């Protein structure tokens, strides 16, 4: 059984893929091809992407999509409509107004934000499952899948490997990790995933998780920021106010079977306090998590107590 590794620079991050299979290089080529395709079609920043055609036709006409993009938008809309969720795929107009994480980040005016709040209701994303079309009801609406796309991509790539009877594999999309099978580098067969210390430079970790056939997703307010008039703003927005959410959570890590579930919950839980987030994680079957607060405290769910 051969093994091979691939390092890629896509989606604004560094991607690592490792695979154990007799045709490892061939499968890695296919995985790379798919990731390049995903980056092009799902991007909210490329004017030629498939997703951008939906945004450009907002208020004008429905757009027919390929099954995978339609499926992710459907998942995103459903999760955006969950009560008190801080996940909202209709948040595109706010993201483009603030531009946090980009060189041209700015502080929108109050009147501008008030107007933008009328354009970010996920109920205004109209789906036709028979025709697989998406229609945004108002001009200037925009879908942004950045909060969930990488998890979906990771799940799809690992599913590809499973379909070809790979022995084991992992993919790391810039802090979004998904594993499959036994890790050959450790006698116990578990993969080790380091959790970033959100107060130090990348590579400094606070703890290491041991996982197998699981995903680890971390989201934080520390990597994409914007300073204005002496105050720091992050990229996780409150759809009720139009401003970055007020939170005592510096970073949140979710351990789950599917990577997209980790993406969903790391965003949804930013509307909670750190204590509420841990209590919520403890009530959800199949979910574990670590929360690090802005006061440098760390808490973890019951299942990680060992």
| Separation CA 92–CA 121 (nearest Å) | 11
Number of structural domains the chain divides into: 1
* Burial of 286: CB neighbours in 10 Å, binned 0-12, 13-18, 19+: exposed
Output DSSP code: residue 138.
S
pLDDT over 90 (residue 78): yes
Given a contact cutoff of 8 angstroms between Cβ atoms, the answer to whether 155 and 194 are in contact is: no
Is residue 82 left, alpha or beta, with left meaning phi > 0 and alpha meaning psi from -120 to 50? beta
pLDDT of residue 85: 84
The answer to whether residue 161 scores a pLDDT higher than 90 is yes
pLDDT at position 162 is: 97
Domain-located, residue 15: yes
Banded pLDDT at 175 (limits 50, 70, 90): confident
- The CATH number of whichever domain residue 233 belongs to comes to 3.10.520.10
- Is residue 84 a part of any domain in this protein? no
Q: Is the pLDDT of residue 305 over 90?
A: no
pLDDT in tens, 196-225: 999 999 889 999 999 999 999 999 988 889
Pull the structure tokens for residue 51: 């997703």
Q: Could you tell me what percent of the chain has a pLDDT over 90?
A: 89
Give the CA diameter of the chain: 61
How many angstroms separate the CA atoms of 191 and 209, rounded? Answer: 8
Residue 145: predicted pLDDT: 97
What would the mean pLDDT of 127-131 be, rounded to a whole number?
98
Query: Is residue 146 within 8 Å of residue 153, measured between CB atoms?
Result: no
Kindly state the tokens that stand for 157: 């790539």
Q: What is the pLDDT of residues 244-303, one digit of tens each?
A: 998 999 999 999 999 999 999 999 998 789 999 999 999 999 999 999 999 999 999 999
**Domain that includes residue 270, residue range:** 3-21+174-304
Q: Which two tokens stand for residue 122?
A: 């996920």
83: left (phi over 0), alpha (psi -120 to 50) or beta: beta
pLDDT for res 134: 98
Residue 145 lies inside a defined structural domain of this protein: no
In a domain, 280, yes or no: yes
Let me know if residue 287 belongs to a domain: yes
11 occurs within a structural domain:
yes
Token pair recorded at residue 7: 């390092």
- In 3D space, the residue among 230, 243, 271, 218 whose CA is nearest the CA of residue 86 turns out to be 271
3-class DSSP state for residue 15? strand
User: What is the pLDDT averaged over residues 10-33?
Assistant: 96
Is residue 48 in a domain?
no
* Beta carbons of 291 and 270 less than 8 angstroms apart: no
Residue 125 falls inside a structural domain? no
């Amino acid at each position: 059984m051969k093994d091979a590794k691939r390092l890629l620079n896509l989606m604004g991050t560094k991607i690592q893929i490792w695979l154990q299979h007799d045709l490892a290089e061939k499968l890695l080529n296919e995985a790379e091809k798919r990731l390049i395709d995903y980056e092009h079609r799902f991007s909210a920043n490329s004017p030629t992407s498939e997703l951008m055609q939906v945004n450009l036709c907002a208020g004008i006409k429905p757009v027919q999509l390929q099954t995978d993009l339609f499926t992710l938008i459907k998942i995103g809309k459903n999760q955006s409509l969950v009560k008190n969720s801080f996940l909202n795929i209709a948040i595109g107009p706010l993201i483009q107004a603030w531009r946090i994480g980009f060189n041209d980040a700015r502080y929108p005016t109050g009147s501008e934000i008030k107007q933008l709040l009328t354009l970010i209701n996920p109920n205004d994303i109209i789906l036709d499952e028979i025709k697989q079309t998406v229609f945004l009801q108002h001009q200037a609406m925009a879908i942004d899948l950045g909060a969930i796309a990488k998890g979906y991509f990771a799940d799809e790539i690992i599913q590809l490997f499973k379909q070809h009877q790979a022995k084991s594999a992992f993919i790391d999309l810039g802090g979004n990790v998904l594993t499959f099978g036994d890790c050959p580098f450790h006698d116990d067969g578990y993969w080790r995933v380091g959790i970033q210390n959100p107060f130090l430079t990348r590579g400094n970790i606070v703890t290491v998780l041991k996982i197998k056939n699981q995903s680890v997703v971390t989201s934080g307010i520390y990597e994409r920021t914007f300073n204005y008039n002496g105050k720091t703003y992050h990229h996780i927005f409150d759809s009720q106010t139009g401003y970055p959410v007020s939170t005592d959570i510096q970073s949140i890590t979710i351990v789950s079977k599917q990577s997209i579930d980790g993406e969903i919950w790391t965003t949804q839980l930013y509307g909670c306090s750190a204590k509420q987030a841990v209590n919520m994680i403890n009530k959800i079957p199949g979910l574990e998590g670590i929360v690090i607060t802005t006061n440098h405290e760390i808490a973890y769910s019951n299942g990680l107590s060992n």
